[in-house]
């Protein structure tokens, strides 16, 4: 099964995959343990909505959002992945062709933070070497329940060579900034790369194998 059902229930449409009116298309994946808030972050960014009753994603699904960065129209395919181990073979297949990742943990859940290194290893094994990664500590509004300090998150991000943000989908803290910064660093990587194929910035394939806050503008 290439694409399993989730509550997003979106399917590719001709406008999603064949719209010529954009300068670049980037494929982004949100990964991390189950219940860290991946779907909440996606809905907050794509629809500016929040529902505390979201259930765990089954398999993988996506939303499409168009953004403007430095006078360029960029279409984003943002994939929401299941965090459960039993779906790992499905979700890792979608790493190929990804331009960027949001690797998320829950600042109130030590297990989700401990799993970051395993998720990072999967990104290293299954994605392009040029894929950009931002480590995101979600639920920063829950300060009284915090188990992971901001310093620990930053230290782990530095260790892995990742950018780092804390965010809250519920309170809409840093969600837009995280995505915009990821888009900007992908653009910067594309601009500085000497290999024109290093960043697959205009692919239309939607399946596997196809394929610090307020960052600066995208120059791509």
CATH of the domain at 112: 3.40.50.300
122-154 burial, b if ≥16 CB within 10 A, otherwise e? bbeebbbebbbbbbbbbbbbeeeeeebeeeebb
Residue 202 domain-assigned (yes or no)? no
- pLDDT of amino acid 85: 55
- pLDDT of amino acid 89: 63
* CA 60 vs CA 89, 92, 136, 217: distances in Å: 11, 10, 19, 30
Residue 4 domain-assigned (yes or no)? no
- pLDDT of amino acid 15: 44
- pLDDT of amino acid 143: 98
CA quadruple 213, 153, 220, 38: dihedral sign: negative
Range of the domain at 71: 14-192
What's the start-to-end Cα distance of the chain, in Å? 36
Beta strands in 70-111 (DSSP E): 72-81, 100-106
Q: Which two tokens stand for residue 22?
A: 């954009």
pLDDT averaged over 10-residue windows placed end to end, the chain, 220 residues: 39 47 91 92 92 62 89 92 63 86 98 97 92 98 98 98 97 97 93 55 37 43
- pLDDT of amino acid 94: 83
pTM over 0.95: no
Residue 54 domain-assigned (yes or no)? yes
- pLDDT of amino acid 86: 56
Residue 60 domain-assigned (yes or no)? yes
* Residue 217: partners with Cβ closer than 8 Å, 6 or more residues away: 69, 70, 184
Count the domains in the chain. Answer: 1
- pLDDT of amino acid 77: 95
- pLDDT of amino acid 13: 42
Residue 84 domain-assigned (yes or no)? yes
Residue 206 domain-assigned (yes or no)? no
């Amino acid at each position: 099964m290439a694409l399993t059902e989730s509550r997003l229930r979106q399917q590719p449409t001709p406008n999603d995959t064949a719209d010529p009116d954009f300068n670049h298309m980037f494929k982004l994946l949100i990964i991390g343990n189950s219940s860290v808030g991946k779907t909440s972050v996606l809905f907050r960014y794509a629809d500016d909505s929040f529902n505390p009753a979201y259930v765990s994603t089954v398999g993988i699904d996506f939303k499409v959002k168009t953004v403007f960065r430095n006078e360029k129209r960029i279409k984003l395919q943002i994939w929401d992945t299941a965090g459960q181990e039993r779906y790992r073979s499905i979700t890792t297949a979608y790493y190929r062709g990804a331009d960027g990742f949001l690797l998320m943990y829950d600042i109130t859940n030590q297990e989700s933070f401990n799993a970051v290194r395993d998720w990072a290893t999967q990104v290293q094994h299954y994605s392009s070497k040029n894929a950009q990664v931002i480590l995101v500590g979600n639920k920063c509004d829950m300060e009284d329940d915090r188990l992971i300090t901001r310093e620990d998150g930053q230290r782990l991000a530095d260790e892995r060579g990742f950018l780092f943000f804390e965010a809250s989908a519920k309170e809409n803290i840093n969600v837009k900034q995280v995505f915009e910064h990821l888009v900007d660093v992908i653009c910067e990587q594309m601009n500085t790369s000497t290999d024109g194929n290093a960043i697959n910035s205009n692919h239309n394939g939607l399946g596997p194998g196809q394929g610090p806050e307020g960052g600066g503008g995208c120059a791509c």
